[in-house]
């Protein structure tokens, strides 16, 4: 059995993809188009979520490497688990609030799901669903932000709060947990 079969994949590629996406949103959308202040604020809000997710994933990646975690299921706390598969890493909590952060290492994508929301970030596409209302954009097309502004504003309002609060708590719980 070779080392690749027992060593879990890393999150570095996804972090790099998110970081590049954030930089490209700034350079290819914000800086290249004459946009009104509301559009810039909207795009910046989405960019902040992408940046925050990259930071959280980087923290998880460092923790995984420090602990030399192998594939399988690890209980992090009551109702909170880390699941490492061949091409996916999942952190999930079922109580007090349901949340799943799933990193697909082959697609360089991440999905964050709560009871009422879904955020999927992958190269060339961001999909959001909030309370049954969906919106999908190409994050590098200024036209998408303008034509779907109302849907994005509503989705980002809820996602920003949910993701910032719930995901940061979940990731912090894992990152700050003592090794061993």
In this prediction the pTM is 0.84
Q: Are 55 and 169 in contact (CB under 8 A)?
A: no
Q: How far is CA 78 from CA 57, 73, 93, 172, 175, in A?
A: 21, 13, 8, 15, 15
136 beta partners: 127
Q: What is the pLDDT of residues 60-111, one digit of tens each?
A: 888 877 777 778 888 877 888 889 998 999 988 888 888 899 999 989 999 9
Q: What is the rounded CA–CA span in Å between residue 40 and residue 54?
A: 21
- Of the candidates 123, 172, 141, 128, the one whose C-alpha atom is nearest the C-alpha of residue 13 is 123
Q: What is the pLDDT of residues 123-160, one digit of tens each?
A: 899 999 998 889 999 999 999 999 999 999 999 988 87
């Amino acid at each position: 059995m070779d080392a690749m079969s027992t060593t879990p994949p890393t999150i570095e590629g996804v972090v790099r993809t998110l970081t590049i996406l954030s930089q490209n949103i700034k350079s290819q959308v914000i800086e290249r188009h004459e946009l009104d202040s509301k559009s810039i604020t909207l795009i910046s809000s989405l960019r902040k979520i992408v940046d925050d997710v990259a930071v959280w994933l980087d923290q998880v990646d460092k923790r995984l490497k420090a602990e030399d975690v192998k594939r399988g299921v690890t209980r992090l706390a009551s109702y909170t688990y880390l699941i490492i598969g061949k091409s996916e890493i999942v952190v999930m909590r079922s109580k007090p609030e349901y949340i799943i952060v799933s990193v697909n290492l082959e697609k360089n994508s991440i999905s964050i799901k709560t009871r009422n929301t879904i955020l999927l970030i992958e190269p060339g596409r961001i999909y959001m669903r909030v309370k049954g209302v969906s919106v999908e954009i190409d994050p590098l097309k200024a036209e998408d932000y303008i034509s779907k502004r109302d849907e994005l504003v509503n989705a980002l309002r809820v996602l920003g709060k949910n993701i910032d609060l719930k995901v940061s708590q979940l990731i912090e719980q894992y990152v700050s947990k003592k090794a061993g």
